[in-house]
Amino acid sequence: MGQNYLKALFALGFQGFLIMVCVAIYAVLIQGIATADSVHMAIWGCAGYTALLCFTLFKTGSMAKSLFGSH
């Protein structure tokens, strides 16, 4: 029981690290949209990157748990 608790605790900490990495990558990608040719492409690009960010943020928990082997 204690060993699984520690695995879950480390997985939670690693999930926070993964979230910071995802948000940093998102910030870099959004900066590139400022040089888009048209407003429509900038809006669709921002919407696409935001959807990708939401997907990756929801997957960080399962990725961290599978990496550390916690249940």
Q: What is the pLDDT of residue 3?
A: 81
Do 49 and 29 form a contact (C-beta atoms < 8 A)?
A: yes
13-56 residue pLDDT tens: 999 999 999 999 999 999 888 776 788 888 898 999 999 999 99
Q: Which two tokens stand for residue 37?
A: 């040719």
pTM of the predicted protein model: 0.84
50-53-56 Cα angle (round to 5)? 155
Do 60 and 19 form a contact (C-beta atoms < 8 A)?
A: yes
